[in-house]
Amino acid sequence: MVQEGWEPRDFDPVLRIDASPRKVGQVLWHPTAQHVLASAAGDHAVKLWDLGASEAPKSVLSGHGDAIQSIAFNTTGQLLVTTSRDRKIRIFDARAGGEAVRITEGHGGIKGARAAWMGDRDRIATTGFRKMSDRQLSIWEASSLTNIKITTIDQSSGVMMPFWSDNNVLFLAGKGDGNIRYYEYEADNLTPDCEIARAYKITASGIEPIAFIVPRKADSFQSDIFPPAPSAEPSLTAGEFFSGKTAPAKLVSLENGMKKRATAKASAAEQARAKEIEALDCHSAVPRKGGHAGKGTPSLLRAAVRPIPDRNPDQQTDVQPRQIRIIKVPEYFAEFREKGDGLAAFLGSSIVAKITFHDPNAKNFASKADYTEHGPKAVLEMSPSLL
């Protein structure tokens, strides 16, 4: 609510940029680099600025045949997507400038198309109109600009604007609409049955909260609904960005406000493990003829593979291992990460056991069907000592 007696004040700008002699239609902050700004004007070009040296743009993205209707960065700010009145969707290398690296036909109508990058996925959502004025929502594969899904919403005339949330929800707000649509995105499907946020509606006399509630019984913090959100702290300086460096956005926990490390940076434990693996010289540890490690193999790795018996020539196939590589557990295997890398090693060993021992009864390994049905529990039940 506006306090009684409050009067608005004008503020002098900290900086003015002569971006274009034509009208500037859009401005957008870079998602990870500090003091980097994108602008789109009536000269049909997008310009990227370093506010610390704003005499001239750092890069100019050209090639639009008509007015630019929307611009959007991907999560790292390397790529920028635009929609235009010429009914084209374009993706640019933000730093390189010049013409688009990918371009495709967008919505059939010339009226108000908008675009939003769907988080760190290889997907872009756009809204627009058919030639018959129906409002549409489309999902595109960013790497090829191939259309994956197109949905007709209704026949209203208001321009729809897409907004992506980090918990896999796409919001659609239309100019003049009395409602906000929202869809949960999963496996290229949009499901309308979900509520996970709060919006604020400006009325003539104040601000009205609109709740989006998930019907759950648990009172604890729901981490799947409220994942870490982008922090206000930049990951890069403008100089680092334009010199070619890339970094993911810094995150902050919505449960306790604690900052999260960027996903592209390894933890101290992971870095120590990487050094340990590097010391093993695993890429050069190729088993010699007969299945044993040779003299050139580091002693620690040689001791680990010594107990492995010679391969049975009768069981050899055209595909034989030639190198040893160690992988880390993917982030999305939450249960594996909680129990440690030992589970992943066991799962990999189970696959080797299946090939080596030709065990059709699945006694030496967890089958895919068991793992699909029971998850990591199937592995734990086979080897309780891992707990």
Partners of residue 136 on adjacent β-strands: 128, 152
218 occurs within a structural domain: no
Residues 167 and 293 in one domain: no
Residues 182 and 280 in one domain: no
Please give the average per-residue pLDDT across 311-319, as a whole number: 49
Q: What is the pLDDT of residue 291?
A: 42
- The rounded distance, in Å, linking the Cα atoms of 146 and 62 is 22
Q: What is the pLDDT of residue 338?
A: 52
Give the model's confidence band at 14: pLDDT under 50 very low, under 70 low, under 90 confident, else very high. Answer: confident
> What is the token pair recorded at 379?
């592995």
Q: Is the pLDDT of residue 323 over 90?
A: no
- The rounded distance, in Å, linking the Cα atoms of 184 and 194 is 6
Residues 276 and 187 in one domain: no
90 vs 110, which has greater pLDDT?
90
Residues 200 and 272 in one domain: no
Residues 279 and 206 in one domain: no
Q: What is the pLDDT of residue 47?
A: 96
Counted domains in the chain: 2
Q: Which structural domain range is residue 308 located in?
A: 268-386
Q: Is the pLDDT of residue 7 over 90?
A: no
Residues 178 and 293 in one domain: no
Nearest to 116, CA basis, from 68, 58, 162? 162
Q: Is the pLDDT of residue 313 over 70?
A: no
Instruction: Give how far the C-alpha of residue 136 lies from the chain's centroid of Cα atoms, to the nearest Å.
Output: 24
Q: Yes or no: say if 93 and 102 are a contact pair by the CB < 8 Å rule.
A: no
Q: What is the pLDDT of residue 296?
A: 43
What pLDDT, in 10s, does the model give residues 339-361? 555 555 566 666 566 555 555 55
Q: What is the pLDDT of residue 295?
A: 43
Please give the average per-residue pLDDT across 216-220, as a whole number: 62
Q: What is the pLDDT of residue 107?
A: 93
What are the strands of the beta sheet with 169-174, ordered from one edge? Answer: 160-165, 169-174, 180-186, 189-191
Give the model's confidence band at 307: pLDDT under 50 very low, under 70 low, under 90 confident, else very high. Answer: very low
Q: What is the CATH number of the domain that holds 174?
A: 2.130.10.10
Please report, in angstroms and rounded to a whole number, the separation of the first and last CA atoms in the chain.
Answer: 55
What are the strands of the beta sheet with 123-129, ordered from one edge? Answer: 114-117, 123-129, 135-141, 146-154
Q: Yes or no: say if 294 and 288 are a contact pair by the CB < 8 Å rule.
A: yes
- The rounded distance, in Å, linking the Cα atoms of 305 and 299 is 10
Q: What is the pLDDT of residue 180?
A: 86
What pLDDT, in 10s, does the model give residues 59-108? 999 999 999 999 999 999 999 999 999 999 999 999 999 999 999 999 98
360 occurs within a structural domain: yes
- The rounded distance, in Å, linking the Cα atoms of 150 and 311 is 54
Domain end: 164, 193, 211, which one?
Answer: 211
Domain end: 170, 192, 211, which one?
Answer: 211
Tell me the average pLDDT of the chain.
76
What pLDDT, in 10s, does the model give residues 131-169? 888 999 999 999 999 999 999 998 888 899 999 988 888
Residues 195 and 340 in one domain: no
Give the model's confidence band at 320: pLDDT under 50 very low, under 70 low, under 90 confident, else very high. Answer: low
382 occurs within a structural domain: yes
Residues 136 and 283 in one domain: no
241 occurs within a structural domain: no
Domain end: 191, 211, 231, which one?
Answer: 211
Q: Is the pLDDT of residue 16 over 80?
A: yes
279 occurs within a structural domain: yes
Give the model's confidence band at 379: pLDDT under 50 very low, under 70 low, under 90 confident, else very high. Answer: low
Please give the average per-residue pLDDT across 269-292, as a whole number: 46
Give the model's confidence band at 111: pLDDT under 50 very low, under 70 low, under 90 confident, else very high. Answer: confident
Q: What is the pLDDT of residue 309?
A: 47
What pLDDT, in 10s, does the model give residues 236-247? 999 998 888 888
What pLDDT, in 10s, does the model give residues 169-210? 899 998 888 888 888 887 888 876 555 667 888 888 888 887
Residues 140 and 74 in one domain: yes
Q: What is the pLDDT of residue 87?
A: 93
205 occurs within a structural domain: yes
Residues 183 and 289 in one domain: no
53 occurs within a structural domain: yes
259 occurs within a structural domain: no
Residues 156 and 34 in one domain: yes
pLDDT > 70: percent of the chain: 63
Q: What is the pLDDT of residue 142?
A: 93
Q: Which of 34-48, 243-257, 315-329 has the lowest mean pLDDT?
A: 315-329
Name residues whose C-beta falls within 8 Å of residue 189's C-beta, 6 or more positions apart in sequence: 149
Residues 44 and 173 in one domain: yes
| Residue with tokens 């009226």, as numbered in its chain | 111
